[in-house]
Chain A
Amino acid sequence: MANTPQSPTLEQQYPDWYDSERAKAVVDSYNQGSGSCQPADEFVAMSILPARTGELRDFSYIAPELPEFNQENCVGCMDCVTNCPDTAILGKVVTPDTLEAELAKVTDDDHRQYLRDHFATTVKYHGQFEKKRAKGLDAPEGAQFGIFIDPTKCKGCGECVEVCGTHDALKMIKKTPENLPDYLSAFGFYKTLPESPPEYISKTDSRDIMLRLGNLRMYAGGAGSCMGCGEASVIRQVLAMTHDKVGDRFGIVASTGCNTVYGSTYPYNPYAVPWTNSLFENGPADAMGIRVFWNQNGHEDWVLWNIGGDGAMMDIGFQSLSRMLASGMNIKVLVLDTQVYSNTGGQQSTSSYTGQESKMGAHGKTHHGKGERRKELGQLCIMHPHVYVAQTIGANASHFYKAIEEALSFEGPAVVNVFTTCQPEHGVADNMSAHQAKLAVSSRAFPMFVYDPRKGRTLKDRMALTGNPSVDRDWHRVKNEHGEMEEINFLTWAKTEGRFKKHFDANGNPLTPEIMAAQVDRLENWRLLQQLAGVTNKDFQAELEAEALKQQVS
């Protein structure tokens, strides 16, 4: 599609009143370490962060390594783009004519080949279209799929390589002063390319939504989140899907938490959408006020998200959330459930697991981490009238995006509770967000579910456990490296995270009653979900029958 418009520049996106020059001057001064010398300005006076200034932030001094693309193995799944917390890896579909025209502008043969090597010939964007044409069907010609790295945004976490996994199309390589300019140059080339033509964007694979520039640009990166932050990638996904569904007609109330700190450290703002920061305790109440105001002004169709962590939504702001849910107002809530106060140094929350080590839940001689059981926000929300509730993970894109779509289309309040990895507080490596989230699901630490009041009149009709493995069993079982069947239970997951490390010996054997209690807690929680969803648990059934038989015999 040679006529597709070029990507709009940052300046072209700003409204007339916006002083983009001033915004750039402020950001530049901070980039150079002279932020404190800046004169007071209108932005500061109004507590406003100019939109998308995160795009101007340069993190290229941080990442020790960068991803390298092996185009031959790429299938165009978009998992790397979807799971990047920093909008640092980007995909693009380009028709052959456009690509050749753009490459022809590159005078150096070797550099041209280097840029060409960023493009893969995939079944998804090329093969299927060529096959249709070969059969005489009406289809566009096969296109090329490019993957590009923005080295000013990449922090080197390696999450993209981890989620690419056995596709083996990405690997980390050492960044040196010599190859950084190559990355910058390739990313410059990416920016000259037109938008991915819509006819190549899959209508069934929701991961493709980040091929649409408008969706992708909702979160610019440049935020101060940690390397591999599980929260940031989930926020990106939510923004992309919301923009895909309603365009610019949405806004965010962010309850104080880690997301508000890394997302609004002056002068860097990663958001392209109206965003306001409320307190820990009153995000939902703040959102109710905005909702009323919007409705009074004829904006009933505008989407309002309230984003908060487990500290805000389960502890300090739980009453406010409950009040909002009871109101029936059309407000969507995204809970970034890290099971800890990530921002303030890792204090335990009611979402923390039994036995989890955290500040105020330290593991010592007498107390072995948190003594209480985890509060289940999802179940509590279900018990409010007419509320859509989903518990999911960003790493399962199909489940996650479906939940967001359903939440958006639900007439009334919706809560999406998402397991999000917090590397420093969970004690896991920078590249393990998606991996740990998936393991949390399969080990029943964090089961996925959807409760949709539109699906019927009974709990069983409304509740779905789709996406959990071995849904009718206590635990999922797999064959281990010795060929023996092994349970994937809560302990399997807990021993992979630093926050539970002291509960296990060097061989991974559990040492404390607390970690065993946590295992029981998770099993009971899973069985409760099964009962709510009307799923018969074969193991539980057998256990009950054995107990009944034992009683009869005695």
Chain B
Amino acid sequence: MPITSTTTAGESSKQALLLTELERDLTRPQALPTVVASALAARAEEAAETLEYFVANTLDTLDDVTLDLIFSPLFTPTLAAQSRYASLLQDDVLAKEQLQQLVEQLTAQKARIPCTLETGETLLLPLLETMVARYIGRLHLDKPIPAALYQTIQRTTPADLQGTALALGRDSLWQDAARCQLLCEGLERFASRQSYQEEKLKALVGFIRTYRLRSSEQLYLQMKSLISSCEADMATADQRSYFDETLRQQYGGQAADVKEAHQTRAHYQHYISLATELLQDFSSEKPSPVIG
């Protein structure tokens, strides 16, 4: 349900909680990823300034595009972060204006984030609007979770995975009724077979998205096809790709090879394991949904 401008006391306190959580989240000390640090160092070098001076005095003069290109890795929330906010919101939704309000409130604080460089130095990074907007926008606070999916998650999902399931549920993919139903069916089956795992949940969501599945029949066929494709690739994992048979005869099977065959096999085995487990779940007798 949307949190509107005429909010109840409970909803207001939820917004306050959101703000507090975001403040804490966005200003926590962070290790600056190499890619961000390198981009910053290059900009400072261009401006002929020391990194410290550049961050303190010049950074906030850069345009939004540059800031977004440099800092996006730091302000793209992980699924774990999305899960925390999804747990907090449950099935509530924020309006666009409320998101904008959050961005403005957080930017107005002119906070600084202690960031550690890989060289061990610490910088105080200004928290700018572009950074906040990117982070908040990708938390999906404005994306509704279908009621049927919300109820299914509540009913079927272990407490420690509720946040993850709710976060994954805030995706426009589930606005398609057939896909939503397929996910719900999967969750019901996980629960009834007591086989609920985070990795399998993510795999099911991923497979539905990637292979554009809309029914358990499609899922069944696709998993079979996936397994056979993986098995075929595993059988040739220790052979390099040659585009010409003469080349293969001349050079095949020698030299330090590209990917280690065992890594390739392990990679495909992982696909097979997930697909097999899903096949088992979806092959079992369909559980009747619990009402209420």
A residues within 8 Å of B by Cβ?
Answer: 62, 64, 68, 72-73, 75, 77, 110, 113-114, 122-124, 127-128, 131, 155, 165-168, 173-179, 182, 202, 205, 224, 226-228, 265, 345-346, 357, 398, 423-430, 466-467, 469-470, 477-479, 485, 498-499, 501
**Can you sample 17 A-B contacts with CB below 8 Å?**
A75-B68, A114-B212, A122-B68, A124-B65, A128-B64, A167-B76, A174-B229, A176-B225, A177-B229, A224-B244, A226-B258, A227-B241, A357-B256, A398-B42, A423-B258, A424-B258, A479-B116
Report yes or no: A62 in contact with B241, Cβ–Cβ below 8 A.
Answer: yes
Q: Tell whether, in the assembled complex, residue B42 and residue A176 are in contact, meaning their CB atoms are under 8 Å apart.
A: no
Cα A175 to Cα B230 in complex, Å, equals 9
Instruction: Write out the residue numbers on chain A whose beta carbons fall within 8 Å of the beta carbon of B25.
Output: none
In whole angstroms, what is the CA distance A122 to B69 when docked?
10
| A249 CB → nearest B CB, Å | 31
- B58-73: contact bitstring with A at CB < 8 Å (1 yes, 0 no)? 0000011100110011
Q: From residue B33, how far is it (CB to closest CB) to chain A in Å?
A: 6
Decide if B249 is an interface residue (CB 8 Å cutoff): no
CB distance from B94 to the nearest CB of A (A): 17
The residues of A that contact B214 with a CB separation of less than 8 Å are 110
Residues of A within 8 A of B64 (CB): 123, 127-128, 131
Q: Which single member of B34, B42, B241, B259 contacts A155 (CB below 8 Å)?
A: B241
Q: Which residue of chain A is the closest to B222 with respect to CB atoms? A: A178
Contact A424 B259 (CB under 8 A): no
Contact indicator per residue, chain B 22-57, by CB within 8 Å of chain A (1) or not (0): 000000000001110010011001000000000000
Chain B positions within 8 Å of A426 at CB level: 256
A228 to B229, CA, bound (A): 22
B229 touches A430 (CB 8 A): no
Cα-based distance from A174 to B138 in the complex (angstroms): 26
Q: How far is the CB of B290 from the nearest CB of chain A, in Å?
A: 30
Q: Chain B contact residues (Cβ within 8 angstroms of A): what range?
A: 35 or more
A174 near B230: Cβ-Cβ < 8 Å: yes
CB neighbours (8 Å) of B69 from chain A are: 75, 77, 124, 205
* Cα distance, A174 to B221, chains bound together (Å): 15
Find chain A residues with CB under 8 A from B244 CB: 224, 265
A477 to B221, CA, bound (A): 52
B288 contacts which chain A residues (CB < 8 A)? Answer: none
**Is the CB–CB distance between B76 and A166 below 8 Å?**
yes
Q: How far is the CA of A428 from the CA of B259 in the complex (A)?
A: 7
**B99-125: which residues lie under 8 A (CB-CB) from chain A?**
116-120
Task: Give the distance in Å from the alpha carbon of A174 to the alpha carbon of B34 in the complex.
Answer: 29
Contact A430 B116 (CB under 8 A): no
Please give 10 more A-B residue pairs, beta carbons under 8 A apart, in addition to A123-B64, A166-B33, A427-B256: A64-B233, A123-B65, A124-B65, A166-B35, A168-B76, A179-B212, A265-B244, A424-B255, A467-B45, A469-B41
Name the residue on B nearest A113 (C-beta). Answer: B176
The residue in A177, A428, A479 that gathers the most chain B C-beta atoms within 10 A of its C-beta is A479
A227-B258 contact, Cβ under 8 Å, with A110-B176, A174-B271: yes
Nearest opposing residue in chain A for B36, CB measure: A166
A498 near B212: Cβ-Cβ < 8 Å:
no
Contact of A479 (CB < 8 Å), options: B63, B118, B130: B118
Residue contact A467 to B42, C-beta cutoff 8 Å: yes
Q: How far is the CB of B46 from chain A (nearest CB, A)?
A: 8
User: Would you give the shortest CB distance from A401 to chain B, in whole angstroms?
Assistant: 13
A346: nearest residue on chain B (CB-CB)? B255
Tell me if B119 and A477 are in contact (CB < 8 A). Answer: yes
Is B256's CB under 8 angstroms from A73's CB? no
A128–B129 Cα distance when bound, in Å, is 13
Measured CB to CB, the closest approach of chain B to A65, in angstroms, equals 9
Beta-carbon nearest neighbor of A122 in chain B: B68
Q: Does the CB pair B120–A124 fall under 8 Å? A: no
B5 CB, min distance to chain A CBs, angstroms: 22
The answer on a CB contact under 8 Å between B118 and A478 is yes
Q: Which residue of B lies closest to A432 (CB)?
A: B258
Question: Contact between A167 and B116 (Cβ–Cβ < 8 Å)?
Answer: no
